[in-house]
């Protein structure tokens, strides 16, 4: 059964190829059958493989299959091969299953769009590329998937290309992530030249054998890989592309944020965690970047009024949690949060899409309101997603994953409770901003009339993801609440045993974290549900308004980068419009042309002149040869 | 055996060649140009004959036979061309046939 692993990425790829060859001429029913069916099939195969893997684990708890060798240049022969271990298994399951729900949803959401088949072609390619990324045995093959994901995100963010703003957002996403990709590529070169292989497992082994911890080489390599991860996962300072990526259709956002793309960075660091363990300084940097991103993005999310941008900033912030966990060495906590985040973030985006779809694509939360009664399915699923994101205690999956990260941060960061504090403050802010959205969107007066309806292909994914967002966390609970460790046990063969945190202090911190998220929800209720006039007046004072505008623009990062990078670059381009290098070649061309002007006078067409020149030439030649 | 002087016949050949070349360069009539070319060819032939007699070799004579054949074919082709030019340009002026000027 495990040998069928190659089918998992191959089937969506085949679907994409068929849809691309179909050139949009296929009937839309066939398109949705191919588009959704291929990912469904791949999800089914992935599930069977997982069952097989768990019931009869292969030797070493890892399975490798090499399909063929890409090329062979001396000792360098990268393989097209897949590597399945508990880590890639979880990633594969999340990508295929969440991907299937999102595709099922979009088969109805995108119905009637003129690019219906193009959409599914891109989405299938996206899923295929992500599966290649998570299953690759070789860093080079992983890089191929990495670039494929980047390409598909570009295509999908700019899906409605008639609007130039969407094209701009797509290019921004592509260029900003490309900065990270360049770092990753240099990192791969460095690893290959020093360790002589790009196959991940031997590479990690050789790194630990030949490089002492904390030396320059692993630090440099880890920094370069980290740059790649930051770009893809939209962490500070390369986070600016993600909010703009909301230009794409909502299911695209769901796919980018939940299953594919932005979690690639988290996966990459988890995959190469041995390298990061060799570079403690870089690992610390991962944690600090995560913590900073957490806070920055949460504050920005608090001031957005586009429902999708709120979710975008919340994704940046939540991935900050994963980076924080990676930074403190809680690898399995990061992957656990990735999984749970995939559940609730896909749910939130799909619910938001279901709302905007019924409101004539109105995205402004202040023009929504009172939707709880009118759209019960969307309300309950958004509410469950929000509760899970806010980590409401006990019943939501988000609670368990966030708790795992926070306790690991405390355990590791005893020296540096700053990181833990950032996590807890963000937990409060997260709860505040998402319940702000919930109260504004679903309660109060109806501001935009609701129209249309949605069918089972929209409600079914919402219900399924709601269930996952609620119960998905019970595979791993803290010591004080049953102490189930299915998830970290499963990942133990990849990351080693996670330390168990117990004791009354741990329980106390657990209680504090739960109270913090409840307090956030409570504050949101007090501020936005009851809408006290004092708060409204305070929010409208000039100083506060200035801050709010500043946070609304995402801490002015866009303006900063425009001033620092974009505008100088454009100025140089303008100066160099005629390309200085071209002048060199223009001089050559000019010389040729002048020589031509001069010589063409001799071409008179008069045969006597030619004969004369011929005679003169012969005379000179003979004279030279005789007189020599 | 009669000794053949070398200098005088060669000087004659050079003179003939120069005469022919001058004819080619200064005459504008195609027929005269063709005749001048014949003179140049004959000058070259004369040089061969002289050299062959001087060294008692038959090669020079062979070369002269070649030059004769060459001259005959050249005249055949040249006259045909001149006829065509006369037909097209209604003149035999060589300078009028400068359609290929740059």
Q: What domain range is B19 assigned to?
A: 7-90
Looking up tokens 């880890």 gives: A222
Q: Does B102 touch chain A if contact means CB atoms closer than 8 Å?
A: yes
Q: What is the pLDDT of residue A274?
A: 86
| Interfacial B residues in 38-97 facing A (CB < 8 Å) | 94-95, 97
**Residue A438 and residue A383 in contact, taking contact as beta carbons nearer than 8 Å:** yes
CATH of the domain at B77: 1.10.287.3510
Q: Does A600 touch chain B if contact means CB atoms closer than 8 Å?
A: yes
Q: Does residue B72 lie in a domain region?
A: yes
Q: Looking at chain B, which residue has its C-alpha nearest residue A599?
A: B102
pLDDT, tens digit (0-9, with 9 covering 90-100), for A321-339: 898 888 888 888 888 889 8
Of A32, A39, A143, which is closest to residue A92 (Cα–Cα)?
Answer: A39
Confidence of residue B77 (pLDDT cuts 50, 70, 90): very high
* Cβ distance of B102 and A600 shorter than 8 Å: yes
* Residues in chain A, overall count: 628
**Residue A385 and residue A349 in contact, taking contact as beta carbons nearer than 8 Å:** no
Q: What is the pLDDT of residue B2?
A: 61
Looking up tokens 């890892």 gives: A62
**Residue A283 and residue A276 in contact, taking contact as beta carbons nearer than 8 Å:** yes
Tokens linked to A212: 């002492």
Q: Does A612 touch chain B if contact means CB atoms closer than 8 Å?
A: yes
Chains A, B: CB contacts within 8 A come to 35
**Measured distance CA(A315)–CA(B36) in Å, rounded:** 96
* Cβ distance of A604 and B101 shorter than 8 Å: yes
For B32-41, b where at least 16 C-beta lie within 10 A, e where not — what string?
ebbebbbbbb
**Measured distance CA(B94)–CA(A606) in Å, rounded:** 7
Q: DSSP characters for A243-289? A: HHGGGS-HHHHHIIIIISGGGHHHHHHHHTHHHHHH-HHHHHHHHHH
Read off φ and ψ for residue A68, nearest 5 degrees. -160, 170
The alpha carbon of residue B1 is apart from the nearest alpha carbon of chain A, in Å, by 32
**Measured distance CA(B77)–CA(A85) in Å, rounded:** 88
Q: What is the pLDDT of residue B19?
A: 94
Spans of chain A below 70 pLDDT:
413-416, 480, 497-504, 531
Q: Does A597 touch chain B if contact means CB atoms closer than 8 Å?
A: no
Q: Does residue B101 lie in a domain region?
A: no
Chain B positions touching A605 (Cβ under 8 A) are 97-102
**Measured distance CA(A431)–CA(A428) in Å, rounded:** 5
The alpha carbon of residue B3 is apart from the nearest alpha carbon of chain A, in Å, by 27
Chain B positions touching A601 (Cβ under 8 A) are 102
User: Structure pTM?
Assistant: 0.78
* Cβ distance of A607 and B94 shorter than 8 Å: yes
* Residues in chain B, overall count: 102
Q: Does B101 touch chain A if contact means CB atoms closer than 8 Å?
A: yes
Chain B positions touching A617 (Cβ under 8 A) are none
* Cβ distance of A600 and B33 shorter than 8 Å: no
Is residue A115 packed enough to be buried (19+ CB in 10 Å), middle (13-18) or exposed (0-12)? middle
Is residue A61 packed enough to be buried (19+ CB in 10 Å), middle (13-18) or exposed (0-12)? middle
* Cβ distance of B100 and A603 shorter than 8 Å: yes
Q: Looking at chain B, which residue has its C-alpha nearest residue A603?
A: B102
Q: Looking at chain A, which residue has its C-alpha nearest residue B28?
A: A608
| ipTM for the complex shown | 0.87
Read off φ and ψ for residue A445, nearest 5 degrees. -90, 150
The alpha carbon of residue A598 is apart from the nearest alpha carbon of chain B, in Å, by 11
Q: What is the pLDDT of residue B39?
A: 93
Q: What is the pLDDT of residue A47?
A: 92
Of B28, B31, B16, B43, which is closest to residue B75 (Cα–Cα)?
Answer: B31
Q: What is the pLDDT of residue A499?
A: 64
Q: Does residue B97 lie in a domain region?
A: no
**Measured distance CA(A466)–CA(A382) in Å, rounded:** 8
Q: What is the pLDDT of residue A366?
A: 81
| Interfacial A residues in 204-233 facing B (CB < 8 Å) | none
Q: Does residue B100 lie in a domain region?
A: no
Q: Does A618 touch chain B if contact means CB atoms closer than 8 Å?
A: no
Q: Does A471 touch chain B if contact means CB atoms closer than 8 Å?
A: no
**Measured distance CA(A628)–CA(B11) in Å, rounded:** 22
The alpha carbon of residue A19 is apart from the nearest alpha carbon of chain B, in Å, by 58
Tokens linked to A493: 């063969």
Q: Does residue B61 lie in a domain region?
A: yes
Grouping H, G, I as helix, E, B as strand and the rest as coil, residue A445 is: coil
Grouping H, G, I as helix, E, B as strand and the rest as coil, residue A119 is: helix
Of A362, A365, A382, which is closest to residue A451 (Cα–Cα)?
Answer: A362
Q: What is the pLDDT of residue A413?
A: 56
Q: Does B98 touch chain A if contact means CB atoms closer than 8 Å?
A: yes
Other CB atoms within a 10 A radius of the CB of residue A252 amount to 29
Looking up tokens 């065509």 gives: B84
**Residue A145 and residue A495 in contact, taking contact as beta carbons nearer than 8 Å:** no
Q: Does A596 touch chain B if contact means CB atoms closer than 8 Å?
A: no
Q: Looking at chain A, which residue has its C-alpha nearest residue B18?
A: A615
| Best residue in A593, A606, A619 for a mutation probing chain B (most B CBs within 10 Å) | A606
Q: What is the pLDDT of residue A66?
A: 86
Other CB atoms within a 10 A radius of the CB of residue A37 amount to 16
* Cβ distance of A608 and B21 shorter than 8 Å: no
Q: Does A500 touch chain B if contact means CB atoms closer than 8 Å?
A: no
Residue A63 β-bridge partners: A84
The alpha carbon of residue B49 is apart from the nearest alpha carbon of chain A, in Å, by 21
Q: Give residue A617's Cα distance to chain centre.
A: 74
User: What is the Cβ-side half-sphere exposure of residue A315, based on CA atoms within 13 angstroms?
Assistant: 37
**Residue A292 and residue A421 in contact, taking contact as beta carbons nearer than 8 Å:** no
Chain A positions touching B24 (Cβ under 8 A) are 608, 611
* Cβ distance of B102 and A601 shorter than 8 Å: yes
Q: What is the pLDDT of residue A40?
A: 93
Q: Give residue A588's Cα distance to chain centre.
A: 48
**Measured distance CA(A16)–CA(A156) in Å, rounded:** 14
Tokens linked to A129: 């590329």
| Best residue in B21, B30, B43 for a mutation probing chain A (most A CBs within 10 Å) | B21
* Cβ distance of B102 and A608 shorter than 8 Å: no
Q: How far is CA A80 from CA A6, A125, A202, A463, in A?
A: 10, 17, 16, 38
Which residue pairs from A484-490 have beta carbons closer than 8 angstroms and sit at least 24 positions apart in sequence?
Answer: A487/A332, A487/A336, A488/A332, A488/A333, A488/A336, A490/A54, A490/A86, A490/A90
Write the residue in B25, B33, B101 that is nearest to A605 by C-beta: B101
Q: Does residue B30 lie in a domain region?
A: yes
The alpha carbon of residue B75 is apart from the nearest alpha carbon of chain A, in Å, by 17
**Measured distance CA(A305)–CA(A455) in Å, rounded:** 28
Q: Does residue B2 lie in a domain region?
A: no
How many domains is chain B built from? 1
* Cβ distance of A606 and B101 shorter than 8 Å: yes
pLDDT, tens digit (0-9, with 9 covering 90-100), for B10-49: 999 999 999 999 999 999 899 999 999 999 999 999 999 9
Q: What is the pLDDT of residue B100?
A: 79
Read off φ and ψ for residue A76, nearest 5 degrees. -95, 105
Q: Does residue B42 lie in a domain region?
A: yes
Three-class secondary structure assignment of B7-63: HHHHHHHHHHHHHHHHHHHHCCEHHHHHHHHHHHHHHHHHHHHHHHHHHCCCHHHHH
Q: Which residues contact A548 (CB under 8 A, 6 or more apart)?
A: A303, A539
Q: How far is CA A325 from CA A288, A475, A500, in A?
A: 10, 18, 15
Of A331, A395, A335, which is closest to residue A94 (Cα–Cα)?
Answer: A335
């Amino acid at each position: 059964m495990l040998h069928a692993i190659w089918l998992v990425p191959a089937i969506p790829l085949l679907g994409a190829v068929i849809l691309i060859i179909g050139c949009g001429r296929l009937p839309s029913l066939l398109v949705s059958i191919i588009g959704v069916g291929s990912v469904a099939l791949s999800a089914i195969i992935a599930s069977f493989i997982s069952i097989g893997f768990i019931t009869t684990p292969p030797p070493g708890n890892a399975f490798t299959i090499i399909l063929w060798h890409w090329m062979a240049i001396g000792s360098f022969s990268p393989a097209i091969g897949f590597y399945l271990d508990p880590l890639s298994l979880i990633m594969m399951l999340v990508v295929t299953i969440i991907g299937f729900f999102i595709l099922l949803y979009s088969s109805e959401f995108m119905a009637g769009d003129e690019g219906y088949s193009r959409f599914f072609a891109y989405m299938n390619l996206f899923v295929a590329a992500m599966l290649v990324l998570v299953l690759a045995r070789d860093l080079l093959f992983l890089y191929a998937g990495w670039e494929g994901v980047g390409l598909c995100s570009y295509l999908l963010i700019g899906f409605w290309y008639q609007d130039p703003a969407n094209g701009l957002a797509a290019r921004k996403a592509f260029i900003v992530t490309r900065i990270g990709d360049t770092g990753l590529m240099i990192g791969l070169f460095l690893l290959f030249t020093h360790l002589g292989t790009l196959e991940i497992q031997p590479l990690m082994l050789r790194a630990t054998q030949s490089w002492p911890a904390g030396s320059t080489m692993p630090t440099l390599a880890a920094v370069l890989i980290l740059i790649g991860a930051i770009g893809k996962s939209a962490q500070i300072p390369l986070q600016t592309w993600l909010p703009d990526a909301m230009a794409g259709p909502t299911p695209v956002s769901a796919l980018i944020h939940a299953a594919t793309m932005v979690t690639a960075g988290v996966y990459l660091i988890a995959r190469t965690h041995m390298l990061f363990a060799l570079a403690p300084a870089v690992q610390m940097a991962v944690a600090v970047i995560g913590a900073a991103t957490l806070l920055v993005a949460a504050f920005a999310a608090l001031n957005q009024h586009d429902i999708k941008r709120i979710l975008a900033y919340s994704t940046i912030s939540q991935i900050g949690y994963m980076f924080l966990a990676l930074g403190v060495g809680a690898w399995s906590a990061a992957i656990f949060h990735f999984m749970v985040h995939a559940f609730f973030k896909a749910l939130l985006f799909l619910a938001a899409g279901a709302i905007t779809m019924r409101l004539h694509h109105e995205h402004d939360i202040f023009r929504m309101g009172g939707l709880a009664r009118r759209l019960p399915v969307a309300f309950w699923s958004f509410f469950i997603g929000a509760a899970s994101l806010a980590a409401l205690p006990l019943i939501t999956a988000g609670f368990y994953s966030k708790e795992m990260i926070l306790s690991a941060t405390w355990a590791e960061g005893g020296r540096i409770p700053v990181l833990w504090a950032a996590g807890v403050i963000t937990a409060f802010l997260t709860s505040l901003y998402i319940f702000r959205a919930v109260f504004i969107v679903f309660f109060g007066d109806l501001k935009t009339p609701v129209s249309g309806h949605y069918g089972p292909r929209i409600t079914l994914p919402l219900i399924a993801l709601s269930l996952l967002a609620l119960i998905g966390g019970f595979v791993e609970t803290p010591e004080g609440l049953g102490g189930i460790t299915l998830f970290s046990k499963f990942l133990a063969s990849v990351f080693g045993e996670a330390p168990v945190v117990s004791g009354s202090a741990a329980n106390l911190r657990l209680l504090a974290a739960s109270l913090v998220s409840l307090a956030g929800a409570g504050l949101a209720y007090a501020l936005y549900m009851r809408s006290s006039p004092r708060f409204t007046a305070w929010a409208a004072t000039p100083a506060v308004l200035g801050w709010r505008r500043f946070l609304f623009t995402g801490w002015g990062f866009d303006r900063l980068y425009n001033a620092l990078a974009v505008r100088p670059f454009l100025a140089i381009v303008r100066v160099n419009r005629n390309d200085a290098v071209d002048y060199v070649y223009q001089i050559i061309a000019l010389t040729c042309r002048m020589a031509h002007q001069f010589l063409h006078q001799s071409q008179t067409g008069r045969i006597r002149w030619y004969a004369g020149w011929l005679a003169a030439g012969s005379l000179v030649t003979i004279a030279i040869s005789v007189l020599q | 055996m009669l000794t053949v002087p070398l200098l005088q016949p060669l000087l004659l050949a050079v003179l003939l060649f120069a005469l022919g070349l001058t004819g080619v360069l200064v005459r504008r009539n195609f027929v005269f140009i063709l005749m001048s070319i014949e003179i140049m060819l004959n000058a070259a032939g004369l040089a061969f004959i002289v050299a062959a007699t001087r060294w008692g070799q038959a090669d020079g004579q062979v070369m002269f036979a070649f030059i004769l054949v060459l001259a005959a074919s050249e005249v055949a082709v040249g006259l045909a061309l001149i006829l065509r030019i006369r037909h097209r340009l209604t003149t035999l002026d060589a300078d009028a046939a400068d359609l290929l000027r740059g």
